Structure 1
């Protein structure tokens, strides 16, 4: 999961003692320290669950996503590099990816369950055109997201896919609010340029 780690931008981080504590807990977890991992879980599980719930919108599913994410953290803790980003950002990015995967899997199951109906019912021309347009738009968004830097993409995913405010994003990524706002704003500008549209 090395690719999930955000790239630093040189901004000063708030809450240095807590940041150092989380780094130490993760490093000890990487060495197989179960007590350290339990402490890391206690420190981060509420925020992880909150993010998962915002994405999957189901408490039971959010609990499963949180558990899966922490299992990944336990397995891949040795890959974390504190020079490349905060523990909070790294861990919540894992949670977000897991939650999005869960939503996509549920959507895929739903599509399979309804495929017979869709295959055997004549679809109105307007509905077909609308679906095609939505598919094209989703593709443009995915393509535009690839144009962002890692830190911009991370901030935008939390703000727009996770539904968090700028202040909450700043807290999760262990950044000053102004830095978080700048990443989100710059990311939107790059997406606007890539897609040729204006964001409100």
Structure 2
């Protein structure tokens, strides 16, 4: 009996017709699914799901729109593509979750903490300078001015700025334990 006739009988609930149709289409269904899914074990599972769907949805087959084999293979192809998309989406979700859940590298955390502590230490040492020394050091080292530009901004002689800088940096070095 032709696949089209068998599928019409399956739509009516004929189990023997389904067995016969299964024998006709199981090979092509598995071959198609195997090409899409690639994994043999998953291909078997998807092919079985497609054939089960064939049993449940046989009433939707319309012989005027195409052959039974084409309809069955379309069902199988959709199932296979759905499985591939689902697996890909699950992999992406797992990858994103792993990235989000992964703690930052230990060295990164350590460096950030140490940098914060060092900034606080330097701030405390800057507070120990005289206001004039702190102003000169801040303009030169934090704002990037040359000694001459610091002298111009503060309307001071260059020698005075150099003295303030030398004294300020010396006090900073002492405060920071000789590491500056």
Q: TM-score range by the shorter chain?
A: 0.5 to 0.7
Between the two structures, name the one with larger relative contact order (CA 8 Å, sep ≥ 6): 1
The residue aligned with 1:66 is 47
Distance in structure 1 (CA, Å) of the matches to 2:62 and 2:11: 11
For residues 88-117 of structure 1, what are the alpha-carbon distances to aligned partners after superposition, in whole Å with 9 as ceiling and x for unaligned?
Answer: 111101100000000011111111111034
Structure 1: 5+ residue stretches without partners: 1-19, 122-200
How many residues are matched?
103
The residue aligned with 2:90 is 109
Please report the TM-score for the alignment, with normalisation by the length of structure 2.
0.54
Q: Which runs of 4+ in 1 moved over 2 A?
A: 116-121
For residues 145-198 of structure 1, what are the alpha-carbon distances to aligned partners after superposition, in whole Å with 9 as ceiling and x for unaligned?
Answer: xxxxxxxxxxxxxxxxxxxxxxxxxxxxxxxxxxxxxxxxxxxxxxxxxxxxxx
Distance in structure 1 (CA, Å) of the matches to 2:70 and 2:94: 36
SS in 2 for 1:32: coil
Larger proportion of helix: 2
Please report the TM-score for the alignment, with normalisation by the length of structure 1.
0.48
- How far the C-alpha of 1:53 sits from its partner, in A, is 0.3
Distance in structure 1 (CA, Å) of the matches to 2:61 and 2:98: 46
- How far the C-alpha of 1:59 sits from its partner, in A, is 0.8
Distance in structure 1 (CA, Å) of the matches to 2:48 and 2:86: 17
Residue correspondence of structure 1 range 1-200 to structure 2 within 5 A: 21-119=2-100
Please provide the CA RMSD for this pair: 1.9
Higher radius of gyration, 1 or 2: 2
Distance in structure 1 (CA, Å) of the matches to 2:81 and 2:65: 23
Distance in structure 1 (CA, Å) of the matches to 2:40 and 2:98: 30
